Structure 1
Amino acid sequence: MKIFHGIVEIAGQMGILCGGLKRKGNIAGAYNTFHSYLGYQDHLINTNVNELRKTFKHILNFYDLFHYHYNTSIEDQFRDLQKIKKKGKKAIMHHWGNDVRFHDMARVNNPYVYTGDSPPNKVIHRKLSIISKYVSEAIVQDYEVLPYVEKYYQKVHILPLAIDLRKFSPSYPDITKKRPLILHAPTNPDFKGTVFIEKAIEELRATHSFDYRRIEKMSNAEVVKLYKEADIIVDQVRCGSYGLLSVECMALGKPVITFIRPDVAKRFSPELPIVNGNPDNVKEKIKMLLENPGARENLGIRGRKYVEKVHERSVVVDKLLSIYSKLD
């Protein structure tokens, strides 16, 4: 099968999925028009929208299936989706969160959520309404994103985040360490809840011995090296689910604090070892891990096993190929 992925790279996922698709004998191209300091490279063709538009006729003729990401496509007003459908080829849209997180709906089950990165509700609705005229099925990463899009499509699939575990050797926390290292890496401090996390950390300095480092504006390859040194990872305490940073850190054998909405938490496997912390209780969650080195080690071991079972690239790609096989 010849599969097109585009046009916005989110958390390295287009490249990771395409790498896995290639390993299973497919031709897969990941065309990225969103370039950031995170510096994802693997299996990506970094380009721009104008170049894609110039070559779209060739792209349309060459690929069998079009897997778009983040509420985007190549042509204005999603005209390419109409052409893909007219050509009798398959297409699916992959939504990631901020592209479809309706502001009022997000607040219904989450008093902490930050939606400043999402477009206005009317823009989200307009895009979803146009896309769903030509694309009948979609993909989301979890049950936090699902409610925003499920009414627009005939079917929405849950596909977990994917990770290439060959790049992540576990480095479990040292239970004898006198000054544990806490790391927090906010790509967007408002979205991640950095102000709440750092307030908790400053208050804990008066009673506990530890080191803290905030990581910003570094490539993904650079920060992964730093994650290996950590004993505790505090990821995001506002969104209501976990993202790639949590997955990467679990793969490295680290205990992770992230807020998962209670209704969403029920939909994940009970084996998920994330410490559920929100702005109101993140201090207590960090304190618990600081005072329990055995818990840090145990959570790290469990996290690695969970990622191997749920997020390992070949596991996710097998699910993706199953989704592809049933598309109209």
Structure 2
Amino acid sequence: MGREVHVGGPDDGDEGRPAVPDTAVRLFVGPANFAGQGYLWARAVERSVPDVSAVSFAPHVPGAFDFPVDYLVPQATYLDDFEFHERLLAYVRGQFTHVLFEAARPLFGRSYGLNFLTESKLLTRAGLAVAVIAHGTDVRLPSRHAAAYDYSPFRGDLVPETPLLEDRAARNIARIDAFSGPAFVSTPDLLLDLPEATWCPVVVDVDRWHTDVPPMQRKVPVVVHAPSKSHVKGTDLVETALADLVARGAIEYRRIEGVPAAEMTRVYTEADIVLDQFRLGSYGVAACEAMAAGRVVVGNVSDLVREHATSVGAGELPIIQADGSDLASVIESIIDDPTTARTRAADGLGYVRAVHDGSISAGILRNFLEEGQQ
């Protein structure tokens, strides 16, 4: 699409409102855009589904990383500017045919009680087709996760805010269960919490992450771990497991935090092995980006997630399996057999191109987008 893309600093609301092309289907996506996913799903359906245009929307949260988004407003405007909410509602009702709510969050701030379900009914009455997509902590019920995964971060006191997360997830699940439209999840592990939902894979710009620099060429490989939340991603397990390898000089370990998304291509290009997460039992955007960069990716991925990943027909998920008890020996085996490791890295790139370039996600969303267009 030819519209201007806003990256970074918030606009002042209405002046940044994108024009909407005159297509048969016009999709409004928001208001989360976690890891740029709202924007990337919007671009995916535009590329893959005929006669569709899409606009992604999100508030600008001070201090958060900036990802591409079509329509950005200040957080205070999003939450508490009720006149803006009225104008945004008129824009959505007047310009769009479909709305995809992200993370069970409301589009119109506090105007309707911070309740996406109330807003969905308002939009449905106006003739729009509405769906919801869950991202992660919005529906991941800590009590259920702790019962299902031995390494769950919700066991013990690793995550002090667990009671708050439990309450929020339970509330969102109840609202989605009461929701009449389609429900999607961005990662397969969330099907434990929303079994009636459909997996709509996260999307990465594969070409952006491509590098011709192969992994596992150094005598001492660079091992990168870039946790968004260290206690959730299992950084304690990683650093305990790798302590001896680091002390012996067998690896160069880099823990990456606070690096803007735009600089992560350099971080992964300089890596040989990327350690994803070891407590959630799943994989997401970060692992896909590392695979797209052709790195050897290691993580703790549950059998359930691996089965769903394989079910799309692109082969087995190429993330090398390890947990807190065997991570050191897995890294040693990668070092001992770099040729096999490079083959696994190439498989990862192929998998991401097949599953996470947006084409499958657009196909999943297509039935929803064709609703009301017959």
The answer, yes or no, to whether TM exceeds 0.5 is: yes
CA distance 1:33–1:313, shift in 2 (3 Å) = same
Structure 2 gap ranges (5+): 1-24
Matches within 5 A, 1:55-74: 55=87, 56-74=89-107
* Runs of 4 or more consecutive aligned structure 1 residues displaced over 6 Å after TM superposition: none
The one of 111, 122, 144 equivalent to 1:83 is: 122
SS of the residue 2:224 aligns to? strand
Matches within 5 A, 1:286-301: 286-301=331-346
Task: Give per-residue Cα distances to partners, 1:197-244, cap 9 Å, x unaligned.
Answer: 111221112445221111111111111221111100001011001111
Matches within 5 A, 1:159-198: 159-198=200-239
Matches within 5 A, 1:213-228: 213-228=254-269
Residues 1:285 and 2:330 aligned together = yes
Give the distance between the partners of 1:280 and 1:44, measured in 2 at CA: 45
Q: Tell me the equivalent position of 1:26.
A: 52
Give the distance between the partners of 1:248 and 1:241, measured in 2 at CA: 15
Structure 1 gap ranges (5+): none
Give the distance between the partners of 1:304 and 1:16, measured in 2 at CA: 18
Count of matched residue positions in the alignment of Structure 1 and Structure 2: 324
Q: Tell me the equivalent position of 2:175.
A: 130
Matches within 5 A, 1:1-328: 1-24=25-48, 25-33=51-59, 35=61, 36-48=63-75, 49=78, 50=80, 53-55=85-87, 56-74=89-107, 75-76=112-113, 77-78=115-116, 79-115=118-154, 116=159, 119-150=164-195, 155-269=196-310, 270-326=315-371
Greater mean alpha carbon deviation, residues 90-99 or residues 317-326:
317-326
AA aligned to 1:140 is V
Contact 1:92–1:137 under 8 Å retained in 2? yes
Greater mean alpha carbon deviation, residues 276-285 or residues 123-132:
123-132
How far is the alpha carbon of 1:26 from its aligned partner?
2.2
Q: Normalization by structure 2: what TM-score?
A: 0.80
SS of the residue 1:305 aligns to? helix
Give the distance between the partners of 1:247 and 1:44, measured in 2 at CA: 25
Contact 1:179–1:211 under 8 Å retained in 2? yes
Q: Normalization by structure 1: what TM-score?
A: 0.90
Give the distance between the partners of 2:283 and 2:104, measured in 1 at CA: 20
